[in-house]
Amino acid sequence: MEENNKSLDILGIKPISEAISHVTKSTVDGAAAFLGRVCLPAAEEFGLMLQDKVKAWRSNNAVAILAAAERKLSQKDCGEAVAVHPRMVFTAMENGSWTDCALLHEMWGGVLASSASADGKDDSNLIYTTILSQLTSSQAKIIAYACEVVGKRITPPGLIFPEGNVFVKPDELLRLSGSSDVHVLDVELDRLRSLDLIASGFSYGQEQADITPTALALNMYVRCQGYRGSAIEYFGVPSSEKDENSDIIEH
């Protein structure tokens, strides 16, 4: 049998093939071992080992999102049957289930709830899911805080806009975000600015960070609360405050 095997290896490449196979297996095993050290859920899925655990972890996160969506829908006066676009459900389950942050679960649930419509064809919230899927837990906390405390006004076209600025000292911002490194926090704010969610973050020569939310952030935040109406209605901005200025908010 051994001689037959040799006779079939005309080019003498069998040993090389076996070596490549061995190296490939070793590489995969090494990668799985590395993932096992740094990220157990991903390692289990990547290596096809103990998949029930990673599925259970993601399932728990998905259930938390759906529970938040159901709760927010129940708080609304839904006089007609509602449905959510399948694309919205898939996006929320696929992206939202990879985090165990309770605040992000609430935000994903709110996006699902505010996507509900009579015919289930509304996919306009995909604008916000794309952004939401990129947020860290620290960034989500910063956005939630900024959107709640900032003043709001109505522009001449009838749109919501931040009134004044929200300046926060580094120590306070670290506490609010749950971060422990101001350098990491600086990068987090830079990313929020690049997503057009805050004004500027830390600037040279300033001792405080400007986390004033943009109109985009305000509208997204409202959708993340499960509200389908306008941001003006949600925040209850009086029409008498149309296009007025206010003092800077400092914290």
pLDDT of residue 136: 97
Once rounded to an integer, what is the mean pLDDT over residues 179-193? 95
Paired tokens of 248: 């800077």
Given a contact cutoff of 8 angstroms between Cβ atoms, the answer to whether 116 and 78 are in contact is yes
Distance of CA 243 to the CA centre of its chain: 31
Encoded tokens for 36:
């096992």
DSSP assignment of 36-74 equals HHH-HHHHHHHTT-SHHHHHHHHHHHHHHHHHHHHHHHH
Given a cut of 90, is residue 56 above it in pLDDT?
Answer: no
The string of pLDDT tens digits covering residues 79-113 is: 566 889 999 999 999 999 999 999 999 999 999 99
Identify whether the C-beta of residue 155 lies closer than 8 Å to the C-beta of residue 214: no
Q: Is the pLDDT of residue 11 over 80?
A: no
The C-alpha atoms of residue 56 and residue 33 are separated, in whole angstroms, by 21
d(CA 202, CA 199): 10
Q: What is the pLDDT of residues 125-151, one digit of tens each?
A: 999 999 999 999 999 999 999 999 999
pLDDT for 243: 47
58: confidence class by pLDDT, cuts 50, 70, 90: confident
Question: How far apart are alpha carbons 82 and 113 in whole angstroms?
Answer: 10
